[in-house]
């Protein structure tokens, strides 16, 4: 969420930058500034009434002491009137603050100056490609056929007990999934991240803190009876560890494995076969809380870290800088990773690494004290390191042979086998 003072100070620049996200914020900015002006005027009037009320209370006390009860009673009537007017002003101020808040949550984060204009993912720019796209044997299969052939995943069983998008991993398929999770966590821990195992349900305050709420696109599963939400990513609980916290030391580096839950509303008609689009999936997340001066240096380091994991897995990948139209509501700058899935002959997104600058921190009241002792907002960053379904799909598709599916050397110590057959 943007800070109102920053909107005032940078109004025209922000309007220009938000056009990159295909949004004209002029009306919203004008409205929120006007409401804030009214709030300030109301606050000033309320403060004046409060001061006058305090002054009357002193006068009334002195009059009673000197036996001038009639004069004191007359002032008490005026004091009562002032209290009523003060109460009305406080009510008006609360209404104005609520209106301001309702507008602020409609305004997305300001994109970084390097973000280019664009309407959708087709306008994203590839900034790096790495690895060799494999040439598969004749008769190579997509992963949903391989998982059936080798009894790795039972999609029909998942459909029976939950519905489409809830796969059941079996035998070596389950072992491979568990191996990837452990491998990703170990890589992140070796890079200085502290491991956490957070709750999988969060309250509304947590969803608001990281920007998932208000849920404009209806993507979160809501447990209405208890007003809790199933997490769409570990980013939500982990970043909220630091809600209402004043940070003393930077950076804070966290990693967590969780199952993730997404309704995927609006995905009808997209390629949803196999592992390509799920309602429940496993993901290992990295989160950093950083000083504003170092957040973009940190973003580069996080991108390089994810790239190093894909290099070890020997998966061909590319890194894309997202255009304004594909950038999330809360992000200032995002880099997506896609791996090449040879069985499907297509690129699949497996990670997004983002800098949110102070947007989430303002909602979270996540702050630090500068050299002058003044509280300032931290910067938050996160990324997938990594999301499992499409990594799993590409890994078994790209490594299929007439003898079976070969396992990359990096994860053989975790699987305990080097081939699936």
- pLDDT reading at 203 higher than 60: yes
- Please report which confidence band the pLDDT of residue 267 belongs to, taking 50, 70 and 90 as the band edges: low
Q: How far apart are the first and last CA of the chain?
A: 51
Find, among 279, 268, 283, the residue nearest to 162 by Cα.
279
Q: What are the tens digits of pLDDT across the range 64-91? A: 788 887 887 888 888 888 888 989 999 9
Question: Rounded to 10 degrees, what is the CA torsion of 182, 382, 313, 134?
Answer: 140
The tens digit of pLDDT for each residue in 8-60 reads 999 999 999 999 999 999 999 999 999 999 999 999 999 998 888 888 888 88
Between CA 240 and CA 249 the distance in angstroms is 17
Query: What is residue 375's predicted lDDT score, i.e. its pLDDT?
Result: 97
Asked which of 120-124, 138-142, 216-220, 283-287 is least confident by mean pLDDT, the reply is 216-220
pLDDT exceeds cutoff 90 at 271: no
Dmax over Cα atoms in the chain, in whole Å?
108
Tell me, what DSSP letter sits at residue 132? P
- 420-to-214, 399, 405 alpha-carbon distances in Å: 44, 10, 5
Residue with the two structure tokens 């950093």: 288
CA distances for 38 relative to 43, 106, 153, 199, angstroms: 8, 20, 60, 41
Mean pLDDT of the chain: 95
User: Which residue matches tokens 């059936």?
Assistant: 148
Give the mean model confidence (pLDDT) for residues 336-364.
Answer: 97
**Contact partners, residue 343, CB within 8 Å, separation at least 6:** 136, 140, 141, 142, 143, 146, 393, 396, 397, 398, 400
pLDDT at 68: 80
pLDDT for 409 beyond 60: yes
Question: Taking the model in full, what pTM does it have?
Answer: 0.93
Query: How many residues comprise the chain?
Result: 421
Q: Strands 246-247 and 367-369, how do they pair?
A: parallel
DSSP code, position 270 = S
Burial 222-235 (b: 16+ CB within 10 A, else e): beeeeebbbbbbbb
Q: Residue ranges of the alpha helices (H) in 229-339?
A: 235-240, 295-312
User: Are the CB atoms for 279 and 165 separated by under 8 Å?
Assistant: yes
49-63, 164-178, 218-232, 385-399, range with the lowest pLDDT? 49-63
Is it true that 4-104 and 121-420 share their CATH fold? no
CATH 1.10.287 fits 4-104, yes or no: yes
Query: What pLDDT, on a 0 to 100 scale, did the predictor assign at position 165?
Result: 95
CA dihedral 130, 133, 134, 136 (to 10 degrees): 160
Class assignment of domain 121-420? alpha beta
pLDDT, mean of residues 150-177:
97
Q: Is the per-residue pLDDT at 191 higher than 90?
A: yes
Q: How far apart are CA 183 and CA 179, in angstroms?
A: 6
Task: Say if residue 334's pLDDT is above 70.
Answer: yes
pLDDT at 8: 97
Q: Where are the domains of the chain?
A: 4-104, 121-420
The percent of residues above 70 in pLDDT, for the chain, comes to 99
Task: Note the helical H segments in 22-68.
Answer: 26-65
Q: Residue 5 has what pLDDT? A: 95
- Region 223-235: mean pLDDT is 97
Angle value at C-alpha 192, between 189 and 194, nearest 5 degrees? 60
- What gap in Å lies between CA 175 and CA 156, rounded to an integer? 19
CA dihedral 389, 395, 397, 400 (to 10 degrees): -140
**Confidence label for 268 from pLDDT (cuts 50, 70 and 90):** low
């Amino acid at each position: 969420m943007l800070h109102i003072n920053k909107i005032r100070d940078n109004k025209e620049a922000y309007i220009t930058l938000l056009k990159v996200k295909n949004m004209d914020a002029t009306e919203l900015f004008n409205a929120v500034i006007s409401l804030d002006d009214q709030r300030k005027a109301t606050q000033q009037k309320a403060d004046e009434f409060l001061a006058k009320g305090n002054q009357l209370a002193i006068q009334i006390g002195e009059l009673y002491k000197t036996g001038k009860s009639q004069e004191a009673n007359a002032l008490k009537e005026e004091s009562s009137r002032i209290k009523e007017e003060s109460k009305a002003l406080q009510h008006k101020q609360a209404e104005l603050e609520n209106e301001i808040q309702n507008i602020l949550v409609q305004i997305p984060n300001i994109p970084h100056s390097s973000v280019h204009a664009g309407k959708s993912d087709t306008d994203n720019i590839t900034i790096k490609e790495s690895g060799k796209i494999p040439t598969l044997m004749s008769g190579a299969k997509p992963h949903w056929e391989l998982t059936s052939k080798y009894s790795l995943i039972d999609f029909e069983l998942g459909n029976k007990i939950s519905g489409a998008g809830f796969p059941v991993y079996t035998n070596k398929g389950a072992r491979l999934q568990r191996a990837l999770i452990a491998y990703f966590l170990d890589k992140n821990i070796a890079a200085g991240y502290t491991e956490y195992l957070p709750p999988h349900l969060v309250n509304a305050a947590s969803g608001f803190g990281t920007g998932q709420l208000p849920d404009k696109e209806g993507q979160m599963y809501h447990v209405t009876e208890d007003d809790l939400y199933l997490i769409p990513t570990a980013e939500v609980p982990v970043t909220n560890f630091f809600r209402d916290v004043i940070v003393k030391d930077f950076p804070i580096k966290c990693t967590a494995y969780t199952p993730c839950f997404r309704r995927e509303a609006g995905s009808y008609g997209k390629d949803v076969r196999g592992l390509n689009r799920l309602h429940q999936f496993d993901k290992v997340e990295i989160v950093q809380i950083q000083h504003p001066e170092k957040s973009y240096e940190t973003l580069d380091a996080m991108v390089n870290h994810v790239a190093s994991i894909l290099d070890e897995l020997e998966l061909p990948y590319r890194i894309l800088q997202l255009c304004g139209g594909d950038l999330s509501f809360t992000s200032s700058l995002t880099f997506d990773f896609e791996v090449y899935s040879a069985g499907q002959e297509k690129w699949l997104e497996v990670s997004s690494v983002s800098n949110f600058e102070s947007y989430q921190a303002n909602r979270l009241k996540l702050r630090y004290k500068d050299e002058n002792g003044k509280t300032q907002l931290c910067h938050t960053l996160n990324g997938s390191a990594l999301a499992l379904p499409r990594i799993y799909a590409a890994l078994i598709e790209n490594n299929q042979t007439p003898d079976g599916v070969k396992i990359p050397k990096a994860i053989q110590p975790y699987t305990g086998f080097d081939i699936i057959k």
